[in-house]
Amino acid sequence: MILTERRLDGQALLITINREHRRNAFDGATARALEAVIDEYDADDSLRVAVITGAGPTFSAGQDLKAAAVGDMGASERRGGFGVMGQPPAKPLIAAVEGDALAGGMELCLACDLVVATEATRMGIPEAAKALVAIGGGLFRLPRKIPFNVAMELALTGKPLPASEFHRMGLVNRLVPVGQAVEAALELAADIVAAGPVAVRASKAIVRHSFEWADEDAWHKQMEFAQAVLDSEDKNEGISAFIEKRAPQWKGR
């Protein structure tokens, strides 16, 4: 139900939600399987970035409603919704969206750090229109990423928008032709692989936590993550490579 493949000389992990017969909707088993994959990704120092996509024409339809009807919810015990929403990986995660990303599919995108979507993609949180509520992070993560009133309209009406609108608002990083989402996501992944892994991990953590910090606190709180970079061998290698006009050889420490 969750497929994995190493790309970019083994430094990128391509994760595929493989439930095309259910439009890649999540039940409990799928969520637990994705949690296990995310755990392995975070623990493997040779992996620097991950891309998540869906098999077939849909990224993810969200919660498997047939499973939900019998109490089988698409959540894991530790990482929460879909095995990733409550506790995303410490390393970068890119959504490669072919087809629609609605409801939990949209919230899965919001748990990622970067989003690549196609010109045919629609995105939204339609729960309210079905007398449901988006409890996978959509109602508090979406207003942080797009204008507040637009997020409110999406939440209250349930109507989706084309990915081109989310690209205009900055939520979608790359808008590409149909069939090219994974390729474009891997191009972004290659840029991340080229950067220093210790610095990438710390930078992600600081950006993610920045919404929790007032400016006067952020100066010292960021150092909880930045100090490891300043003390790293990679920092010295980065400076040397710049001075010597050569490609850096990162050690990840």
Amino acid at 1: M
Task: Decide if pLDDT at 124 tops 90.
Answer: yes
State the pTM of this model: 0.96
Choosing from 20, 98, 107, 212, the catalytic residue is 107
| Mean pLDDT on 70-80 | 96
Task: Name which of 108, 126, 135, 96 is nearest 34 in CA terms.
Answer: 108
Task: Name which of 26, 186, 55, 134 is nearest 123 in CA terms.
Answer: 134
Rg (CA), the chain: 19
CB 87 within 8 A of CB 50: no
Q: How many H helices and E strands in the chain?
A: 11, 11
Position with higher pLDDT, 178 vs 211:
178
Choosing from 127, 216, 233, 237, the catalytic residue is 127
d(CA 218, CA 211) in angstroms, rounded, equals 10
Task: Decide if pLDDT at 160 tops 90.
Answer: yes
| Mean pLDDT on 227-253 | 88
pLDDT at position 34, please?
98
**Annotation marks residue 165 as catalytic:** no
Give burial (CB, 10 Å; 0-12/13-18/19+) of 226.
Answer: middle
Position with higher pLDDT, 244 vs 152:
152
Task: Name which of 88, 86, 126, 85 is nearest 107 in CA terms.
Answer: 85
Residue identified by tokens 């088993």 is 29
185 phi-psi bin (left φ>0, alpha ψ -120 to 50, beta other):
alpha
pLDDT at position 252, please?
82
**Annotation marks residue 127 as catalytic:** yes
pLDDT digits (tens, 9 = 90+) for 33-66: 999 999 999 999 999 999 999 999 999 999 999 9
pLDDT at position 253, please?
86
Q: How confident is the model at residue 18 (pLDDT cuts 50, 70, 90)?
A: very high
| Mean pLDDT on 109-115 | 98
Domain 2-193, what architecture?
Alpha-Beta Complex (3.90)
d(CA 117, CA 184) in angstroms, rounded, equals 9
